[in-house]
C-alpha cells in the first residue's frame, strides 16, 4: 500500500481530539487543495508532491500491522492523502487491523469523493468535503480539482451509514472565508446533516495561521450552532511530519 508515514501521536481534530492514536497516512490524493490564503493543504507532500523523498513508499500491509502492534493503542486513524483511492488495499488493511484487538476504534479521514463497502467496518468517518475555496485557481490542477471535489452520490451514501446506525460520521470543513458558510448550508440541507455533526476548522498550516483565524471561526460556530475543531497537533508541534 502506498504510504507516506506511520506514526503515534494524538488526534488533533474533531470529536476524538486528544485521543492517543496510531496514524496510517496514505500517499497520493485525487485533489489538489490550495486555499484562499494561498496555502496548500497541510499535507501537500502526499498530494502536490507525492514523490517527496521522505514518503515511505509501497509498504506491505503486514508491515503496517506490525508497526501498529509495536504501539498497541486503542485508536487508529487512516488518513492521507486520500485513502479511498486504494479501495482494495484499504479493505484488506481494515480487516487485518480488526484482527489485532477487540476494542479497536478506527477513524477514516476522507474528502468524500469515493465510496466503498470498507466504510461499513469503520467506527467514525471523518468526511471533509472540499469547498470552492480549496480550488487551486490559475494552476494546471484547477479543472481537475473543481470537477472532482464534490461527489453527491458518495456523500449521500456516507451519510446513510450514520442514518442506519452502521457507523458515526462527522462533517469537518476547512473554513477559510465567510462565503464558505453558504456552501456548508447547502450541503447541510442536501443531506439533512445535524448541526452537532458539523465541525468548522480554521484553515492554516502553522500556529500563526490558526491564531489569526480561531476567534472569528469560534464566533461563527456560536452564531450557527456548529462545533469548533482546532488543530492541536499543529499548535503543539508546529508544521511538521509525524505529529
E strands within the chain? 2-10, 20-26, 57-58, 75-79, 105-110, 124-127, 168-175, 198-202, 227-228
Tell me which of 151 and 243 has the higher pLDDT.
Answer: 151
Q: What pLDDT shows up at residue 239?
A: 86
pLDDT tens-digit readout, 25-74: 999 999 999 998 999 999 999 999 999 999 999 999 999 999 999 999 99
Q: What pLDDT shows up at residue 211?
A: 96
Largest CA distance in the chain: 49
Q: What pLDDT shows up at residue 197?
A: 98
pLDDT tens-digit readout, 134-181: 999 999 999 999 999 999 999 999 999 999 999 999 999 999 999 999
pLDDT at 216 > cutoff 90: yes
Contact 78, 107 (CB under 8 A): yes
Domains and their CATH numbers in the chain = 2-237 (3.20.20.70)
**Kind of pairing between the strands at 2-10 and 57-58:** antiparallel
The order of strands in the sheet holding 20-26 is 57-58, 2-10, 20-26, 75-79, 105-110, 124-127, 168-175, 198-202, 227-228
Could you give the percent of the chain with pLDDT greater than 70? 100
Q: What pLDDT shows up at residue 114?
A: 98
Q: In angstroms, rounded to a whole number, what is the distance separating the alpha carbons of residues 32 and 145?
A: 6
Q: In angstroms, rounded to a whole number, what is the distance separating the alpha carbons of residues 194 and 241?
A: 33
Amino acid at each position: 500500500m502506498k504510504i507516506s508515514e506511520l506514526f503515534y501521536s494524538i488526534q488533533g481534530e474533531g470529536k476524538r481530539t486528544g485521543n492517543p492514536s496510531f496514524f496510517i497516512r496514505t500517499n497520493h490524493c485525487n485533489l489538489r487543495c490550495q486555499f484562499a490564503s494561498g496555502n496548500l493543504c497541510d499535507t501537500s507532500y502526499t498530494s502536490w508532491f507525492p514523490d517527496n523523498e521522505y514518503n515511505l513508499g509501497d509498504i506491505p500491509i503486514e508491515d503496517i500491522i506490525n508497526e501498529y502492534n509495536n504501539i498497541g493503542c486503542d485508536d487508529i486513524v487512516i488518513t492521507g492523502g486520500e485513502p479511498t483511492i486504494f479501495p482494495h488495499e484499504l479493505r484488506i488493511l481494515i480487516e487485518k487491523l480488526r484482527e489485532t484487538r477487540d476494542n479497536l476504534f478506527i477513524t477514516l479521514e476522507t474528502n468524500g469523493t469515493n465510496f466503498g463497502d470498507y466504510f461499513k467496518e469503520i467506527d467514525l468517518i471523518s468526511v471533509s468535503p472540499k469547498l470552492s475555496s480549496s480550488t487551486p485557481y490559475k494552476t494546471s490542477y484547477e479543472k481537475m480539482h473543481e470537477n472532482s471535489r464534490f461527489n453527491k452520490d458518495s456523500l449521500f451514501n456516507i451519510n446513510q451509514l450514520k442514518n442506519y446506525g452502521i457507523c458515526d460520521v462527522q462533517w469537518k470543513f476547512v473554513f477559510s472565508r465567510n462565503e464558505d458558510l453558504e456552501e456548508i448550508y447547502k450541503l447541510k440541507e442536501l443531506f439533512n446533516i445535524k448541526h452537532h455533526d458539523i465541525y468548522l476548522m480554521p484553515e492554516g498550516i502553522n500556529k500563526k495561521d490558526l491564531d489569526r483565524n480561531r476567534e472569528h471561526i469560534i464566533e461563527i460556530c456560536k452564531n450557527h450552532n456548529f462545533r469548533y475543531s482546532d488543530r492541536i497537533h499543529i499548535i503543539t508541534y508546529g508544521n511538521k511530519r509525524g505529529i
